[in-house]
Structure 1
Amino acid sequence: MYVFIFSTVVIGFASAGVVMLLFRLWGRKAPKYVIPLVAAIAMFGYMIWDEYTWFDRYEARLPQTISVIQTFTDENIFAPWTLVSAPTNRFTAIDREKLVSNPQNPDEKRVMTLLLRKGGETLALTHLVDCAQGRRGYITPDTSLDSNGFPTAMNEWFDMDADDPLRAAVCS
């Protein structure tokens, strides 16, 4: 967050400096409104560019073992351009390296999911997915595990639709 604020301010000062330099090279004095207007437009443009390219830049830096399975967009009335085309500002990914099938029941798979949000903390969750019954459960520190690292009993299951992205990624 601090890098974003710092970058935005630097863009504003740099663009204002370029305009001041151009006016000086032309031998004219810049009107009072031009420099703040150019700085504001440059900062605004940078903020929009950062918002719309965040997901692509972040996804490109992910390791090969991480696969994005679902993206989310949010519309914001205070950013009217998002009502036309909302940017991706959060996504769910799985770590294929940590996808493990239960040796005693191959339909059960343990997978780590990552929930990432622009400007927020990354949340890592471990799921137990039952592909045969189409359900999933969370493995928490309180869950008792067998010798293979799979739960001996799940307290709470959540049904998954046939087109659920987690189910499609893990059970295929």
Structure 2
Amino acid sequence: MFIELIATVFAGIAAAGLLMLVNIALGRRLPRWLTPVAAGLGMIAATISNEYTWYGRTADALPEGMKVAVTVEEQSWIRPWTQAWPYTERFVAIDTGNAMTNDNLPGQVLTDLYFFGRWAPVNKAPMLFDCTAHRSALLIDGADFAQGGTVSDAQWQPLPEDDPILGIVCET
């Protein structure tokens, strides 16, 4: 966040400096108030650019084995341009590289979900998926595994068959 603030300030300085050079080239015919306006517009442009490129930069930096499953786009009346072009504010990634299965329970997969947000810390949640019954159980508080590998205290939640997270987890 601090680096983005510095980049925004430098974008404003660059826009003001560019307008000053244009003004010198035009023989100082532009009004003086145009320089701070250019600086403000440069900072707004840099902020908008950071909003729209955050998801791409973050998703591209994910390690091998992480797959993006769900994205959430944001629209806000405070930012009127998002009504026409929404931006991705948060997304869920699945750690398919470390997914675990049990030979005794072939339809179940245990993996970690990572929840990314624009101005939020990354949250990790272990989740158990039952691919045959189309359901999932969040294991944040831990789980008690029985002798055969079944989870005894899981609170299963039904999932639709076309759930994107279930689809990615069950194809691994």
Change (3 A) 1:155 1:63: closer
1:10 is displaced (CA, Å) by: 1.4
User: What TM-score do you get using the length of structure 2 for normalisation?
Assistant: 0.90
Could you tell me how far apart the structure 2 residues matched to 1:98 and 1:155 are? 20
Match of 2:169 in 1: 170
Match of 2:128 in 1: 128
1:82-134 superposed Cα distances (whole Å, 9 cap, x missing partner) = 11120111111111111111221011110111110112110111000011111
Give the distance between the partners of 2:18 and 2:142, measured in 1 at CA: 59
1:40 and 1:147, CA in 2 relative to 1: closer, same or farther beyond 3 A? farther
Equivalent position amino acid for 1:39 in 2: A
Structure 1: gaps spanning 5 or more residues: none
TM-score by length of 1: 0.90
Equivalent residue number for residue 94 of structure 1:
94
Query: Structure 1 stretch 55-64 or stretch 22-31: which is displaced more?
Result: 22-31
SS at match of 2:106: coil
Identity of aligned residues (%): 27
Structure 1 counterpart of 2:82: 82
Partner residue in 1 for 2:63? 63
Counterpart residue number, 2:37: 37
Seen in structure 2, the aligned counterparts of structure 1 residues 68 and 147 have a Cα distance that, compared at 3 Å, is: farther
SS in 2 for 1:162: coil
1:6 is aligned to 6
Q: Flag the structure with higher strand content.
A: 2
- What is the count of residue pairs matched by the alignment? 171
Q: Tell me the CA shift for residue 74 of structure 1.
A: 1.2
More displaced 10-residue stretch of structure 1: 73-82 or 9-18: 9-18
Over residues 41-84 of structure 1, what are the superposed CA-to-partner deviations in whole Å (9 max), with x where a residue is unaligned?
Answer: 11111111111111112111111211111111011110011111
Alignment partners' CA distance in 2, 1:116 and 1:145? 29
CA shift, 1:145, in A, is 3.4
CA RMSD of aligned residues (A): 1.9
Deviation at 1:141, TM superposition (A): 4.1
Ranges in structure 2 where 5+ consecutive residues have no aligned partner:
none
